Chain A
Amino acid sequence: MASVLFNIWRTNSAGGEFQEYKTEISEGMVVLDAVHQIQAEHANDLAVRWNCKAGKCGSCSAEINGHPKLMCMTRMSDMPEGKPVTIQPLKAFPVIKDLVTDVSINYRVKKRIKKFNPRPPDAADGTWRMSQGDIDRVQEFRKCIECFLCQDVCHVLREHHLHEKFAGPRHMVYTAALEMHPLDIEDRTGDLKDNNGIGFCNITKCCTTVCPENIHITDNAIIPLKERVADKFYDPIKKLFRIFSK
């Protein structure tokens, strides 16, 4: 057992400030355990969002010592020894209280992306055939737990607050999962270019770095989508063809 000092962001009428708490850490504890212990012992009204404590629901995203992480998957033994642990809410979203942020923008953005639209069934019994090889890449995208850490770290959203113009990495992954779904026949490239602002991404790969599911967001989702958009709208030969076929 060791006593560890935490600096946790608490909101107040003036905005907010870091407050110090001390709590005992035992073997195997994760940061979320420590926050819960502080809540039970010192601060019953300390707001923290969490559900599964198993890295599966993506609720407990926060910035730990400045790094966007899931609190439930960050072990205390990985924190630098003898130094206080700083926990603050995600910076890219408005704070509701303490460590809880308003992530509702993500739900609104998702809703405006055209939904799954399958081709007619392949078999008479209403089922389809897909080979495992054809769905491997879609399954990678569907591992996403919607923790929004990628949205938090994306500079287009974090520094420039362009939430309305750029859908963000999570929704690029979501769109990629639909676009690359072997059954889907919808076309979302126009929306990607115009409404969802794929051009804002300049592939710095910050999103990929923080993804707790290790999804290759930039390489496997965003770049192929950029290529589709470029192919459709910026290919000079196709452009000529479009002009003359009008």
Chain B
Amino acid sequence: MTSYETYHHDVLVIGSGGAGLRAAIEASQAGATVAVICRSLLGKAHTVMAEGGVAAALANVDDRDGWKVHFTDTMRGGQYLNNWRMAELHAKEAPDRVRELEAWGAVFDRTEDGRILQRNFGGHKYPRLAHVGDRTGLEMIRTLQDFAIHQQIDFYQEHTVVSLLKDGDRVVGAFGYDREKGLFKVFHANAVIIATGGMGKIYKISSNSWDCTGGGISLAYHAGAELIDMEFVQFHPTGMVWPPSVRGLLITEGVRGEGGVLRNNKGRRFMFDDIPDLYKAQTSTDEEEGWRYTQGDKNAKRPPELLTRDHVARCITREIKEGRGSPHGGVFLDIAWIKEKISNAPEHIKRKLPSMYHQFKELAGVDITKEPMEVGPTTHYIMGGVRVDADTQMTSISGLFAAGECAAGLHGANRLGGNSLSDLLVFGKRAGEHAAQFARETSHGAVDEKQIAAISSWVLSPFDRSDAAGAENPFEIQSDLQEEMQKLVGIVRTEAELTDAIDKIREFESRAANAGCGGNRGYNPGWHTAIELKHMLTVAEAIARAARERKESRGGHFREDFPAKSDAFSAVNISIQKNEHGEMDVRQIPKTKIREDLQQLIEEMK
């Protein structure tokens, strides 16, 4: 007999980053009783690390902006694999969601006339990112947190969900434990929202927090939900490369938005060497014009450093591979050069990019107002995830919703910077609203004791192996997985390497089944990691399988053996679902046909 505590709520939100908190607020305001499971302490989720800004066509800085331009920018950036309805809703609703944050106490940087200031970012035609220096994520999560604590929401801090619970085909709750004592908890809910963010920690070089292990995507998959676009992982072009212990740490695109330039070891601005056709019309070929663009000249075209992230990351990889890299295997990102242009450059840089200044000074001993930074690509974001209905955020499983990074569709093959923060506001709100409605309209489900008994005995199994000869160290398996994903499922992929990766993941699975941990159930990271491996391996496998299926190069997915775009693959998304044998089914599913008026918009703005 498993012992556990039981809790009842109308809506259960798993995840306490931006999407989870926004969803919880909305569900609570709709009258539902709401629980939020925070894997860490409240306010510490990965949203806190977002830097550059939140994209919304407020048109405060350039009045030519509007939802139509934001929509077409998002579709172009996603290479038209996006769910067009999500892109439409996102572009239309993001401005209201940002203004709402101001009403809840957020303090964004201001324009001269006292409105919310917006900055340039890659792939956005006009200055569109509302921001607070380079700590926008902190401002957002703190605003949501401080608003949410005064709503009718119960927060379960430092709790982890291990499995969703089902009644027939419907999700009716979740099983988890609290970190402090390791006690089991069963959460009953009529509707469950997954808002667990990304999976960067399955790679060795990543900008992500500890808790980005893909947990929610895996929970949904094992409950039977469909995943799509898993092959599209975003490698952010500018992560730190030195010293080794901070490799991967993010350097905001805002550096380039403020005039920072990329150079190779010959001093050449190599981004001018390769401008994709899709962006030729709006990209400058002149250094001087590019600088004017970053300084707000509305008639100037943007510099190639502000092309989309997938492209910039590949150009950097090429420079490094062809021997034109920096001493520690990156390229140079230089913001200090702007002293040639403006008189108070060091103060200007410190004011616009305070965290970057601080980060390099403290961790690398580099003063970015005086010398260039060394940068290289880092695993940053997954465009794919749980497939959802655009309007309601319901997954393919009844009662299960998803929002934020763990949900898929908005970004297609590549996400534009700033669109993740607006994504989590727009679709967090929608998920909360529709989950509350669903909860109101449905009756309580039943949870079968046998389900709980099976999960709990699996969860405790690492302790049985604590002293067994040959028991595996969970931290070692995790680190081996990160190493192999980096090597085999990174920026440049091939069929042979992806097949190799899938084989390796199989081996890791059998090793994980033999992972043991010492100590007891109280705050035990070895135990937690042993359990977590299941999620990390599931998500790793989904990425590798989807990447093998897409035999073309598009957005964040680059296949060395199929380096061009293919018409056939431009018409499909890759779908992944668990079959009745518990294996991963990979299918190509046709995109839904875009609405006529939206297609016309895209044509007009080409």
**Residues of chain A within 8 A of B49, CB atoms compared:** 52, 54, 56-57
Q: Do A126 and B110 contact each other (CB < 8 Å), given the known contacts A44-B475, A45-B519, A143-B135?
A: no
A14, B43: Cα distance in complex, Å: 33
Q: List 17 A-B contacts (CB under 8 A).
A: A26-B244, A27-B243, A40-B473, A44-B517, A44-B525, A45-B526, A47-B523, A51-B211, A53-B209, A54-B359, A58-B44, A73-B362, A111-B150, A115-B146, A115-B150, A121-B103, A130-B110
The reply on B139 being an interface residue by CB < 8 A is: yes
Complex interface bits, B226-266 against A, C-beta within 8 A gives 1, otherwise 0: 00000000000000001111100110000000000000000
Q: In the complex, what residue of chain B is closest to A40 when comparing beta carbons?
A: B475
**Residues of chain A within 8 A of B249, CB atoms compared:** 53-54
Q: Are A46 and B41 in contact (CB under 8 A)?
A: no
The reply on A131 being an interface residue by CB < 8 A is: yes
Q: Do A28 and B243 contact each other (CB < 8 Å), given the known contacts A52-B46, A56-B355?
A: yes
**Residues of chain A within 8 A of B526, CB atoms compared:** 39, 44-45
State how many angstroms separate the Cβ of B171 from the closest Cβ of chain A. 27
A36, B485: Cα distance in complex, Å: 21
**Residues of chain A within 8 A of B115, CB atoms compared:** 127, 129
A110, B210: Cα distance in complex, Å: 26
Q: Do A28 and B242 contact each other (CB < 8 Å), given the known contacts A55-B362, A107-B42?
A: yes
A52, B17: Cα distance in complex, Å: 13
**Residues of chain B within 8 A of A115, CB atoms compared:** 146-147, 150
Q: Are B362 and A44 in contact (CB under 8 A)?
A: no
A60, B147: Cα distance in complex, Å: 25
**A residues within 8 Å of B by Cβ?**
26-30, 33, 39-40, 44-59, 73, 75, 96-98, 100, 103-104, 107, 110-111, 115-116, 118, 121, 126-132, 135, 138-139, 142-143, 145-146, 178, 181, 184
The winner among B135, B210, B364 for most chain A CB atoms within 10 A is B210
**Residues of chain B within 8 A of A178, CB atoms compared:** 105
**B residues within 8 Å of A by Cβ?**
40-46, 48-49, 99, 102-105, 107, 109-110, 113-115, 132-133, 135, 137-139, 142, 146-147, 149-150, 157, 180, 209-211, 242-246, 249-250, 355, 358-359, 362-364, 473-476, 479, 517-520, 522-527, 529
Q: Using A52-B48, A139-B107, A139-B109 as known contacts, list a sample of 11 further A-B pairs with CB atoms less than 8 Å apart, ordered by residue number in A.
A: A26-B244, A28-B246, A30-B363, A44-B474, A44-B529, A48-B525, A52-B209, A53-B249, A57-B49, A103-B41, A145-B48
**Residues of chain A within 8 A of B107, CB atoms compared:** 130, 135, 138-139, 142, 181
**Residues of chain B within 8 A of A135, CB atoms compared:** 107, 110
**Residues of chain B within 8 A of A45, CB atoms compared:** 517-520, 524-527
State how many angstroms separate the Cβ of A120 from the closest Cβ of chain B. 11
A212, B102: Cα distance in complex, Å: 26
**Partner pick for B523 among A51, A97, A107, A145, CB 8 A cutoff:** A97
Q: In the complex, what residue of chain B is closest to A102 when comparing beta carbons?
A: B180
Which 9 pairs show the lowest CB-CB distances between chains A and B? A28-B243, A44-B526, A45-B519, A129-B114, A116-B105, A40-B475, A47-B523, A97-B523, A57-B44
